[in-house]
Amino acid sequence: MFADLHLHTKFSDGTYTPEELVAQAQFHKLSAIALTDHDTVEGCSRAAAACAAAGIEFIPGSELTSEHDDIEVHILAYFVDTTNAAFLTEIAKFQTARQNRIREMCAKLNAIGIGLQAEEVFTLASCHSPGRPHVARALVAGKHCRSLDVAFDRFLKKDRPAYVPKFKMSAAHAIELIHQAGGLAVMAHPALNHTDEIIPAIVAAGLDGIEVFHTKHGPNANHRYMDFAKKFNLLVTGGSDCHGMSKGRPLIGTVKLHLDYVEKMKAKAKK
């Protein structure tokens, strides 16, 4: 009886459709999953329908890109009301910022003689929440680069000619937004963003939980963040951060969260 609470689809930078993701969840015998596409909940209704048909519990979610003291911190939203107007209006602003960022990246590419148009990226991405991986895929599709790695190394990494920083909301704002939509706010993969020193401040802003179990967390990180969870009375979550085929092999089911933790989340979400 396990859950995977960190999953992406085509509605952000993953490669699976919601239906393909749920089929994979079924294959891996997961009892519950959450969809956490970046800055969007677009895929949640389809994932919910597919989960209902497959007998899998579905938790609507998102992964909001935020920052605190110039440190990037990803805040996972769980059990949000995906029809909440204020929530949708606010995240739409960040989707627009993502689209404008794609235009800026293409302008920078054009300035150095790479003829990639933003429309090509939007067509390929066909979602409201595009990011650098879509630009990389468009560069490969347009034969400007041999591979995604080359696209990042030559153009898209920080300090490369087409890099444009992402527009981020404050972590406190992300948490507030999630709460007003009835959800739980969870700090994603703390080891990846080196956010340890800001954890107390994020807790003070109302954080509900911390992602202890994650693909890129080794046993040391698991212990370390379990201790943080105890110290600050935070819910414990976990997930694979599966992006389908876009980051090597599909990771769904490789990080298994016991359902006891999901029950604790549900109890807090109800309050």
Nearer to ligand AMP by Cβ, of 26 and 99: the residue is 99
Q: Does 120 bind Zn ion (CB under 5 A)?
A: no
Question: Least distance in Å: CB of 121 to ligand AMP?
Answer: 11
Decide if residue 74 touches Fe ion (CB under 5 A): yes
Q: How many residues interact with Fe ion (rule CB under 5 A)? A: 4
DSSP 8-class letter at 197: G
Distance CA 101, CA 118 (A): 10
Confirm or reject binding of residue 208 to Zn ion (CB under 5 A): no
* One residue of 13, 39, 63, 120 binding ligand AMP per CB under 6 A: 13
List all residues 6 or more positions away from 253 whose beta carbon is below 8 Å from its beta carbon: 4, 24, 25, 27, 28, 29, 30, 240
Instruction: Name the nearest CA neighbour of 199 among 173, 231, 240.
Output: 231
**Which residue of this chain has its Cβ atom nearest to ligand AMP in the complex?**
131
Cβ proximity of 88 and 107 under 8 Å:
no
Of residues 234-263, those binding ligand AMP (CB under 6 A): 247
Cβ of 156: how many Cβ atoms within 10 Å? 24
The closest of 91, 120, 123 to 105, measured between CA atoms, is 120
Q: CA-CA distance, 247 to 58, in Å (whole number)? A: 24
Give the nearest distance from C-beta 143 to Fe ion in angstroms: 29
Cβ-count burial 183-211 (b if 16+ within 10 Å, e if not)? bbbbbbbbbbeebeebbeebbebebbbbb
In angstroms, the CA 24 to CA 98 distance is 29
Q: Say which entry of Zn ion, Fe ion, ligand AMP, none residue 67 contacts (CB below 5 to 8 A, set by partner kind).
A: none
- Please pick, from the candidates 87, 122, 152, 261, the single residue that binds ligand AMP as defined by CB under 6 A: 152
Does 166 interact with ligand AMP (rule: CB under 6 A)?
Answer: yes
Q: Does the footprint of ligand AMP cover residue 154 (CB under 6 A)?
A: no
- Residue 80: closest CA among 38, 25, 47, 34: 34
**CB of 208 or CB of 241, closer to Fe ion:** 241
Residue 171 CB, shortest distance to ligand AMP, in Å, is 16
Which of residues 4 and 208 has its CB atom nearest to ligand AMP in the complex? 4
Does residue 13 bind Zn ion (CB under 5 A)? yes
- In the complex, which residues of this chain contact ligand AMP (CB under 6 A)? 13, 131-133, 148-149, 152, 166, 247
- In the complex, which residues of this chain contact Zn ion (CB under 5 A)? 13
- In the complex, which residues of this chain contact Fe ion (CB under 5 A)? 63, 74, 188, 241
